[in-house]
Structure 1
Amino acid sequence: MNIKEFATRVGCQPDTLRFYEKMGMLVPKRTPGNYRKYTVTDLATYRIIHSLKRAGLSLEEICEILKLRNADVNATHCANTLRFITGKHAQFADDQNFYTKLTKLTAKMIQALTKSTLSHSELATMIEEIGELDDQVV
């Protein structure tokens, strides 16, 4: 696939793919005419990037994770990876807790908004509860 076809298939802009290539995250093969040629492997890499972005990782963190696929496994490398993954695991658990509470609150709001007897103060109270969901904000 050329860059336009690949961008259409994955639902992004060609400039995004060029940026990922510049960062070394998604580097397609080149044709003899120097055109980008994306493969199934590139599609798998794009899916990894997309999932990790959705999980809230920075592009720099994603780049580091992608480098792990080709890195030698040694004690230092394993220790560094373990430290990174342990931190992300804790972050994901916190995020999951936040989104579980948010899902319950928005379900409550949906139910309340379908009632014709909902008062302004009830709605305002539920909206205020959104600000109480995140334990990390002082």
Structure 2
Amino acid sequence: MQECAKKTNCSKDTLRFYDKKGLVSPRRGDNGYRDYGEEEVELIELIQTLKFAGLNLNEVQKVLKLIQAPISPSCRDETIDFLQQKKSHFQKSANFYLKMEQTTEDILKAVEKEEAQKIDSLIWELREDKALDVNG
């Protein structure tokens, strides 16, 4: 387990949790210890990538099931629905980060010019800006 934790930059607790949730299923040695092979390491790296992309563990579990499911009309429909939802979320997130990048640049310029009033104004605009509403 320690070697897998190093390779994947995951804590041992995280690896145990992934095992408990059924996301990975490492072999067990005669001593009962988890034995992570290369396949499990690659799966953990995929899980980390999906989490970094903003998927929660339930969504990660869904993706892993879709990967392992045989192709069927219901699997296809479920996949399309899931991907459309995620695409919409990613678009909202992209808009959020583009706006944050521009606002950060504007604040940086105001700080360099010591324009305190403009800084305050830019920060308060963030709160009111609907482009930053990733929940709605």
Q: Same fold (TM over 0.5)?
A: yes
- Does 12-21 or 101-110 show the bigger shift? 101-110
Give the helix-richer structure, 1 or 2: 2
Change in Cα spacing, 1:6 to 1:137, as seen in structure 2 (3 Å) is closer
Q: Which residues in structure 2 correspond to 1:1-138 (within 5 Å)? A: 3-113=1-111, 115=112, 117-131=113-127, 132=129, 133-135=131-133
User: Which ranges in structure 1 are unaligned for 5 or more consecutive residues?
Assistant: none
Counterparts of 1:78 and 1:95, CA distance in 2: 25
In the superposition, the TM-score normalised over structure 2's length comes to 0.87
CA deviation map 1:87-130 (0-9, x unaligned): 111111111111111111112222332x2x31321110121122
CA apart distance, 1:136? 5.1
Q: Contact 2:110 / 2:116 at 8 angstroms: preserved in 1?
A: no
CA apart distance, 1:137? 6.4
What fraction of aligned residue pairs are identical, expressed as a percent? 31
Q: How many residues align?
A: 134
Deviating 4+ runs (over 3 angstroms): 135-138
CA apart distance, 1:64? 1.0
Counterparts of 2:61 and 2:53, CA distance in 1: 14
Change in Cα spacing, 1:111 to 1:39, as seen in structure 2 (3 Å) is farther
Counterparts of 1:97 and 1:64, CA distance in 2: 26
CA apart distance, 1:72? 0.9
In the superposition, the TM-score normalised over structure 1's length comes to 0.86
- Does 125-134 or 10-19 show the bigger shift? 125-134
User: Which ranges in structure 2 are unaligned for 5 or more consecutive residues?
Assistant: none
CA deviation map 1:35-79 (0-9, x unaligned): 212122222211221122122222111111111121111011111
